[in-house]
Amino acid sequence: MDDSGHSNLDYRNLFDLTGKRAVVVGGAGGIGRELVAGLVAFGAEVVVADRDLAAAQDVTSTLEGARAYELDVLAPQAIPRAAEALDPVDVLVLTAATNIRKRMVDYAPEEFERVVALNLRSSFELISAFGARMAQRGSGSIVAFTSIRAVTVEPGQGAYAATKAGLMQLVRTAAAELGPDGVRVNAVAPGVVETPLTEQIRANPEWGQAYSDKSALGRWSRPDELVGAVVYLASEASSFVTGSQLFVDGGWTAIDGRYTPPT
């Protein structure tokens, strides 16, 4: 504090990630590649960890300060090996996920297992493996990607929604367990985002427009609009934030959205 009672922090540096190593799991995906670019822009050294090594290398080919690492999170012992090979890691971002849109009564057991394995079990293992090493060093930030489906559902989203709600509970528990060792754990919850995975929805004009109309902003999100939230949670700007879920959903979960009455 100075004589006026103000902090001596240089607030312009709050978002600076210079000297930090970040690992983006699923970093070759539509959202992941934007997060990689954003973290690099703020000074981080970024590892693009993805099961598609060629796609990860494509992401890193134009980004100085980024490198590719082949990681299939469902392969036995792949996560502990990655945690050891990439150590030390200051920031871990989890974006890898899958969805099978079916009514619960039509789900096959193997489909349910596939969604749970990637969305929930691998997240548990990643948080455990990387979080343990962060705790040993006394610092770190983990950012998981949940979804609006963690709190609100629609037909055909049962397994996906359950994994995202479960992931948020893992985030809260990890925040409680790792917080005393200086590790923060939070989540970003996107709404509907323009990525290759949502092309099926946007290809249906009625479906795509209905999703646009549901949010307060009346449109879909671009992948780059999620970068700010991740940089914030990765940086010292959020030094007292843990166990939280930051919605980047255009107001989807804030409003009713079914009908705008005359006023």
d(CA 252, CA 230): 19
- For 213, list phi and psi in degrees, rounded to 5: -70, -20
Catalytic residues: 160
Q: How many CA atoms lie within 13 A of 26 on its CB side?
A: 21
Max CA separation in the chain (angstroms): 67
Q: Which residue type occupies 245?
A: Q
- For 7, list phi and psi in degrees, rounded to 5: -65, 150
- Closest by CA to 135, choosing from 194, 182, 73, 88, is 182
Structure tokens at 191: 């709404």
d(CA 158, CA 122): 19
Rounded to the nearest 10 degrees, what angle do helices 30-41 and 227-234 cross at? 50
